[in-house]
Amino acid sequence: MTEIEFSRALRVSSVPPAGQRLVLEANPAECAALAARFGILAVASLRAEIALRPDAAGGIAVDGVLVAAVTQACVVSLEPVAQRVRDEFDFRILPEGAEPTDDLEAQDEVEILHGIAELGEVVAQYLALALDPYPRADGAEMPDSARDDSANPFAALRAMKKD
């Protein structure tokens, strides 16, 4: 089994009928492990505020917001780019033994094992999805040689189309 860098296990049966609010914060070692996992320079901080509410079908509705400070390498210059990430999310914790739906338009669903939902891993996955896929340092420009289109196999087609 793979080690979870940011583990925050929730015993689902402990959620009161009126619901519950949680704050999850990563410590420095967890932040470093998440940065290594995501292949970025640093995760300086990660905090998630989560509201849990039991639903009529035996699951738990979850709403939350995560805020993180990360540093990624610029895609042009490889210089460090510090960014703040803020992402709102919602998902449903399924009742024990329930199968996730195949509907791609459905709300995200999290399965539980032995009555435990791994909230930290879910937050880590939402952070991964919220990262800028192309971080760019201020003023970073592609060199002119990188913009040269002549080696592009479609350049010849484009030239023929112009004629």
* pLDDT for residue 9 is more than 70: yes
pLDDT of residue 57: 87
Position 132 in a domain: yes
Backbone angles phi, psi at 136, to 5 degrees: -135, 130
Asked if 91 and 57 touch (Cβ cutoff 8 Å), the reply is no
Position 79 in a domain: yes
Position 157 in a domain: yes
Position 3 in a domain: no
| pTM (two decimals) | 0.82
1-10, 22-31, 39-48, 135-144 — which is least confidently predicted? Answer: 135-144
**151 alpha carbon, distance to own chain's centre:** 36
pLDDT band at 122 (very low <50, low <70, confident <90, very high): very high
Q: How far is CA 11 from CA 27, 87, 112, 113, in A?
A: 21, 25, 9, 10
Domain count, the chain: 1
Position 1 in a domain: no
Structural domain boundaries, residue 67: 9-162
pLDDT of residue 7: 95
Specify the long-range contacts of residues 24-27, CB closer than 8 Å, at least 24 apart. 24/48, 24/50, 24/119, 24/120, 24/123, 26/120
pLDDT band at 125 (very low <50, low <70, confident <90, very high): very high
Region 121-140: mean pLDDT is: 92
* pLDDT for residue 146 is more than 70: no
Position 4 in a domain: no
CA separation for the pair 43, 18 (Å, rounded): 34
Position 14 in a domain: yes
Asked if 40 and 131 touch (Cβ cutoff 8 Å), the reply is yes
Position 42 in a domain: yes
* pLDDT for residue 147 is more than 80: no
Give the model confidence (pLDDT) of 20-73 as tens digits.
999 999 999 999 999 999 999 999 999 999 999 999 888 999 999 999 999 999
Region 14-23: mean pLDDT is: 96
